[in-house]
Amino acid sequence: MLHGNLGYSYKLNQSVAALFGERWERSAYLSGVALALSVLIAIPLGIFQAVKRNSVGDQVATALAFTTYAMPDFLLYLIVIQVFALTFSILGFEASQSNSFVSIIGDWHDMTLPIVSLTLLILAGYSRYMRSATMDILAQDYIKTARAKGLPERLVLFRHLLRNACLPMITLIGLSIPALLAGNLIAESVFNYDGLGLLFYNSLQNEDYPVLLAYTLIGAVLTVLGNLLADIALTIADPRIRLS
């Protein structure tokens, strides 16, 4: 481990480092795009639900979020494949099978379903956290003071609420980094996407222990890095927090 030697896969007749080097970009692309989309949607959606809480829009969004959050990952993937790929033939039923990373990025016909499905699963949890954080901020005295001064609601939300409400999201994103590696295991298996998740799944069936150990090691490293990056980002985003 100290020399960066992750072992050798005798099942695939390649070093584990070479296997990971061929696939990490694909998994990073799938996870990164899904994570970015979920954050961009969750922030305004959570604020909207908190500001308009108990409205029809809030109740509909809450019902959809709880349904998606409670649904097993593989079930959602199978449903979207059945509806959008097999029944209506709008999108591909499996992810891009190209060996070129550039081609994978441009293949939206085959990559849309896995990206959107993974985004929905992440968004379900993120939007609930953002709604809860926004409701806590709305109850603070400085928000009431800003409204009492006669500031337009838009300025109250963007100037006084947005930055403070996003602080819990920073921690959540940092903690979600290793979870995305595990989440790719199911998504890549169902959509036959040749990334680290599918490699782990196949290695599990073949009892390819060097690959399994390396995957677990990377998950542990990502957990530590995710927590560290979240602490650093919180310190930068909130001047009231100082690292001791």
Per-residue pLDDT tens over the stretch 212-232: 999 998 888 888 998 898 888
Domain at 25-194, CATH homologous superfamily? MetI-like (1.10.3720.10)
Distance CA 100, CA 96 (A): 10
Distance CA 8, CA 214 (A): 10
pTM of the model: 0.88
pLDDT value of residue 188 = 92
Q: Say whether 7 sits in a helix, a strand or coil.
A: coil
Stretch (H or E) spanning 71: none
The arithmetic mean of pLDDT across residues 30-56, rounded, is 91
Per-residue pLDDT tens over the stretch 2-25: 787 889 998 899 999 999 988 988
Per-residue pLDDT tens over the stretch 79-127: 999 999 999 989 999 999 988 889 999 999 999 999 999 999 999 989 9
Distance CA 86, CA 104 (A): 21
| The pair of three-digit structure tokens given for residue 19, joined into one six-digit string | 């296997």
Q: Is residue 244 pLDDT above 60, yes or no?
A: no
Q: Is residue 237 pLDDT above 90, yes or no?
A: no
CA distances from 9 to 142, 184, 193 (A): 59, 21, 20
